[in-house]
């Protein structure tokens, strides 16, 4: 059976013609990232998607990806360059962070920023401010993710913005909700209760596995959702990268045994953000994910901000189709 093919809505594919071309290339639906925005902000993009679906004569899936318990830094006045070896303050007079983060910034604590692209380590810390040294540098913009490996932070399952978006979802034609950083069954029960209360009883619930806690509790999560998402971005931050392929295989195996659908996502065609042709490793990754039983595969930045959104979907769909042909 052909897996569902998802892209991610963004400025590079927000017009009806591009979206129609993506649907004709094999796309089943779109993800809308609501990590720091609302459904109202994306009303124009959503309308373009529905117009494209009507023009192509297809029924399109629309998944909303929530804020959830992921922590993020605050706004920055301008992009911030963080060269390796430099020191930068967090908190008062520095990079703004959620109040619950500051007590955890103790000397030696590692800090991952922007889905792990930047790595720092705390040097000194006080009540309202900490100083950290950049170990893996880069450029940081506002509202990017912040993670503290090994810390015991436990943010709430749903933010106020999440609850607002859930209430609006039925009116925008949303068909599914992706809950990030699922930790335990209680997270999914809270999301399902919010969906039911908002009239979203028919919406599918996707549980994103992005932490060791999620992996450890997988057996209790599988019955509480409609589809497991192997979200390899933050999951790869939670462990050495060489462990990630094994964990992906283990999650896929458990889902197959339980008869639960699963999705594979993150960097499937990463080079196609700026290249018209993927690498051999990327198409092999897609092929193997489908052979492992993935019910869905998804692109993120490749379509949202990439230079070749239509071509990326075509490569994703054609490679998945070839894997299905091989299995048959």
Convert the pLDDT of each residue in 273-284 to its tens digit.
999 999 999 999
Do 110 and 194 lie in one domain? The reply is no
Domain, as residue range, for 314: 4-70+155-327
Structural domains counted in the chain = 2
Say what the pTM is: 0.86
Q: Which of 97, 131, 147 is the last residue of a domain?
A: 147
Q: What is the pLDDT of residue 167?
A: 97
Q: Which of 147, 164, 183 is the last residue of a domain?
A: 147
- Mean pLDDT, residues 33-43 taken together: 93
Contact 30, 8 (CB under 8 A): yes
Do 304 and 211 lie in one domain? The reply is yes
Report the C-alpha gap between 62 and 175 in whole angstroms: 5
Asked whether residue 284 is domain-assigned, the answer is yes
Contact 144, 72 (CB under 8 A): yes
- Mean pLDDT, residues 16-24 taken together: 98
Do 41 and 102 lie in one domain? The reply is no
Asked whether residue 75 is domain-assigned, the answer is no
Do 138 and 251 lie in one domain? The reply is no
- Mean pLDDT, residues 8-23 taken together: 98
Lowest mean pLDDT among 68-72, 281-285, 321-325: 68-72
Do 268 and 297 lie in one domain? The reply is yes
Q: Domain containing 231 — which CATH number?
A: 3.20.20.60
Asked whether residue 289 is domain-assigned, the answer is yes
Q: Domain containing 127 — which CATH number?
A: 2.40.33.10
pLDDT band for position 150 (cuts 50, 70, 90)? confident
φ, ψ of residue 245 in degrees (nearest 5): -60, -40
Q: How confident is the prediction for the chain on average, in pLDDT? A: 96
Q: Is the pLDDT assigned to residue 70 strictly greater than 80?
A: no
Do 114 and 133 lie in one domain? The reply is yes
Report the C-alpha gap between 38 and 40 in whole angstroms: 5
Do 267 and 312 lie in one domain? The reply is yes
The tokens describing 224, both together, are 């509480």
pLDDT band for position 115 (cuts 50, 70, 90)? confident
* 3-class SS of residue 204: strand
Do 296 and 264 lie in one domain? The reply is yes
- Mean pLDDT, residues 79-90 taken together: 97
| Percentage of the chain lying above the pLDDT 70 cut | 100
Do 86 and 52 lie in one domain? The reply is no
Asked whether residue 24 is domain-assigned, the answer is yes
Lowest mean pLDDT among 92-96, 153-157, 190-194, 294-298: 153-157
Do 143 and 185 lie in one domain? The reply is no
Do 143 and 161 lie in one domain? The reply is no
């Amino acid at each position: 059976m052909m897996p569902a093919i998802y892209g991610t809505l963004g400025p590079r594919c927000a017009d009806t013609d591009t979206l129609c071309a993506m649907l004709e290339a094999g796309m089943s639906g779109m993800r809308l990232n609501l990590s720091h925005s609302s459904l109202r902000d994306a009303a124009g993009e959503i309308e373009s998607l529905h117009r494209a679906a009507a023009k192509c004569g297809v029924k399109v899936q629309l998944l909303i990806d929530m804020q959830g318990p992921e922590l993020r830094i605050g706004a920055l006045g301008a992009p911030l360059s963080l060269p390796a070896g430099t020191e930068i303050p967090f908190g008062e007079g520095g990079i703004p962070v959620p109040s619950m983060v500051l007590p955890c910034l103790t000397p030696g604590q590692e800090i991952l920023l922007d889905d792990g692209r930047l790595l720092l380590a705390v040097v000194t810390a006080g009540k309202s401010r900490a100083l950290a040294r950049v170990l893996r540098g880069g450029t940081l913009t506002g509202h990017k993710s912040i993670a503290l490996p090994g810390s015991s932070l436990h943010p709430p399952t749903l933010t106020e913005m999440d609850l607002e978006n859930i209430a609006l979802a039925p009116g925008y034609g949303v068909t599914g909700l992706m809950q990030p950083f699922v930790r335990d069954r209680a997270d999914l029960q809270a999301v399902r209760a919010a969906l039911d209360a908002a009239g979203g009883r028919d919406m599918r619930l996707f549980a994103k596995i992005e932490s060791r806690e999620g992996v450890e509790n997988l057996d209790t999560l599988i019955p509480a959702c409609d589809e497991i998402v192997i979200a390899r971005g933050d999951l790869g931050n939670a462990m050495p990268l060489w462990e990630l392929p094994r964990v992906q295989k283990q999650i896929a195996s458990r889902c197959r045994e339980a008869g639960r659908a699963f999705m594979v996502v993150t960097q499937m065609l990463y080079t196609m953000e700026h290249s018209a042709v993927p690498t051999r490793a990327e198409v092999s990754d897609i092929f193997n994910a489908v052979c492992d039983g993935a019910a869905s595969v998804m692109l993120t930045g490749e379509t949202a901000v990439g230079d070749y959104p239509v071509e990326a979907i075509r490569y994703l769909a054609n490679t998945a189709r070839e894997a299905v042909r091989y299995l048959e």
